[in-house]
Amino acid sequence: RFHNSVNVKDVVELNDQLYLAELAYADSVEDIQFGLKHHPTNKKKGKEEEEEDGWELAYCQMKSLPGKPSHYLAVRRPSSSSSSPYLDVLLVARGTKTLSDLFTDAMLDTTPYGTGTGTTTTTTTSKEGSVAHAGVLKSGLYLSKLHADLIETLRVASNKQKVKLTCVGHSLGAGAVAIAAMEFKNQNNKRYDVSVTGFGCPALVSKELSVEMQDFVTTVIVDSDVIPRMSAATIANVVLDVMEYDWVDMGRRDVQQALEEISSSSGVITKVMSMVDDILERYIRPSILKSTKQRMTPILFPPGNCIHFYRDGRGISGSRAPCDFFGEIDVTRTMLDDHTIDSGYRRIFLDLMREVMEDPHFRFEEHSKDQKR
């Protein structure tokens, strides 16, 4: 680990963004409206200012379809004293929750995405030969096309010169808003100030395109989270790793240890182990594939500036890492839990802050109140 570390302020801001990402999983429009009204950043302001300068829901799609993710769009109400030339717009997409979302996830094929590829995108900065996850690409293009006219209408109506577009998402939603942001940025580069925060974003784009997106996309990855590392190539590679793994000696050791726990007779143990050895050598070891170095080369990686939070053996650390650091599935017992919001992202943010603040009872809500004071 010799990458730039992450500071406390970064973690607090990421936790605020995580709140918005989780809000996309709400079951009703009313829940989303309520959540926006009680966003953590509002709590850091006075009551009157909160009423003036909060998020107002402008569009919400609760039902998802393949390639059309559930999401919401909100606009920040300007305060009476604000002279900003920007219209603040928030676009948040939901991750996988329904069967339709799984169909989008399952479209693992790579699709050309960049200059000269003949795709529907108008991207002008991407290098020829760049590719993206087919299902997530379709979702991102859907979002950008759906809201282009609405955002422009809102900008004109508010008499603003530019749009400050903040995009947030978890899992599938993170990938979708990253693509949408890429589209908005390249179609309206002089008028749009775009930023993206994604949590557990899938392996989305080719390496060169990921690097291009570092200026406006931040991807947060918790420890062994499998989704940012999962593509057709890495799945094939981990299957080969498992099939070639020789576990016979460890299996023999486990059986012997179990026998020693339940029997004190060395004669019985020796007899049983002789039978176990015969079975393992005759039937199991021959079925294990001969180890080879042949592996597929990963093509897709998480987009932009990647921040990795990981357990270092003593506590929690966080650092920025290159996208190709996540080119291999890390098989651990937490690889699925690390992808969830509650057991993965929120938990590791909280554990890290409690460690840094030396307060086992630290809560982000209380920290927000202190900031307000």
Asked if residue 99 lies in contact with residue 63, where contact means CB atoms within 8 angstroms, the answer is no
Q: pLDDT at residue 116 above 50?
A: no
For residue 366, what are the contacts with CB-CB under 8 A and spacing of at least 6? none
Instruction: Quote the DSSP letter at residue 322.
Output: -
Q: Write down the pTM of the prediction.
A: 0.84
Q: Specify the higher pLDDT residue, 313 or 45.
A: 313
Predicted local distance difference test score (pLDDT) of residue 123: 46
61 class by beta-carbon count within 10 Å (0-12 exposed, 13-18 middle, 19+ buried): middle
Averaged pLDDT of the chain? 87
- CA quadruple 245, 250, 254, 255: dihedral positive or negative? positive
Please give the pLDDT value at position 80. 58
Residue 110: how many CA atoms within 13 Å on its side-chain side?
21
Tokens of 219: 């991807």
> Helix 134-157 and helix 99-106: axis angle, to 10°?
110
Mean pLDDT calculated for residue range 246-275: 85
Strand partners, 76: 55
Q: What is the pLDDT of residue 367?
A: 58
pLDDT in tens, 169-220: 999 999 999 999 999 998 877 889 999 999 999 999 999 999 999 999 999 9
Query: Which element (helix H / strand E) includes 133?
Result: strand 131-133
CB within 8 A of 331, min separation 6: which ones? 224, 238, 241
Do 202 and 105 meet the contact criterion of CB atoms below 8 Å apart?
Answer: yes
Determine the Cα–Cα distance for residues 21 and 39; give it in Å rounded to an integer: 11
DSSP assignments along 159-220, one per residue: T-SEEEEEEEEETHHHHHHHHHHHHHHHHSTTTEEEEEEEES--S-B-HHHHHHGGGTEEEE
Task: For residue 171, give both structure tokens.
Answer: 């899992």
Between these two residues, 117 and 173, which has the higher pLDDT value?
A: 173
Q: What band does 368 get if pLDDT is binned at 50, 70 and 90?
A: low
Q: Which of 185, 212, 206, 219 is nearest to 133 (CA)?
A: 206
Distance CA 16, CA 26 (A): 16
Q: Which residue has the tokens 């993170």?
A: 174
Tokens at 206, concatenated: 């080719």
Dihedral angle of Cα 144, 74, 344, 198, to the nearest 10 degrees: 30
Residue that is written with structure tokens 């009423």 in the block: 51
Distances (CA, A) of 120 to 144, 145, 154, 249, 294: 11, 10, 25, 55, 36
Angle between helix 8-23 and helix 29-37 axes, rounded to 10 deg: 160
Q: Looking at residue 109, what is its pLDDT?
A: 87
